[in-house]
Chain A
Amino acid sequence: MTALAQLLESLRPMLSIGWLAAALAGAGALAGLVADMFDSRKTGIALVALGMAAATVVSLAAALLPLETQISGISSTFAVVLTGAGFAGLASVVYFTAFLSCASGLGTVRENIRVPVAALIAVGAVAGQVLLGADDVLVLFVALELMALIAYALVAAAGTNRSDEAAIRYFVQGSVVTGLAVLGLAVLIGLGGGVSGYGELTAAIGLLAPGAALLGVVLLVSVLAFKVGAFPFHSWVPDAYENAPAGAAAFLSSGAKAAAIGGFTVLFARLLTVDPFLPVAAAVRIMAVASILFGNLAALRQTSVGRMLGYSGIAQVGYALIGLAISPRDTLLFASTYAVAAATAFVALEYFRLAEPGWDGSVAGLAGYGKTHRIAALSLTISLLSLTGMPLMAGFWGKFFVFYAAGSSGLLWLSVVGLIGSVISFGYYGRVIRSLYFDAASAAIVDQDEQGSSASLPNVWPSALGASVIVLTGIAPLLWGLQLVYALFSL
Chain B
Amino acid sequence: MAFGIEAEKEVIMKANKKDVLTGSYYIDGDVAAAYGAIAAGCKFVGGYPITPSTEAFEAFVHRAPYVGGITIQMEDELGSIASILGAVWSGKKAMTITSGPGFSLMMENIGLGAMLETPFVLLNVQRSGPSTGLPTQAGQADMMQSRWGANGDYEIIAISPDSPQEMFDYTIKAFNLSEKYRCPVMIMADECVGHMTEKVVVPEADKINIEPRRFYKGPKEKYLPFKPDKDLVPPMAKAGDGYKLHISGLTHDEKGYPTFSQTPDTKRLVDKIRLNADKIIELNEDEIDDADVVVVSYGITSRVAIRGIEQARAKGLKVGNLRLVTVWPFPEKRIAELSKKVKAFVVPEINYGQIVYEVERCAHGNANVVLVPHGGGFVHNPEDIFKAIKYAAQEKKKVEGIIEHKTELYRLIHEKNS
- Chains A and B come from one and the same complex: no
Which residues of A come within 8 Å of B, CB atoms? none
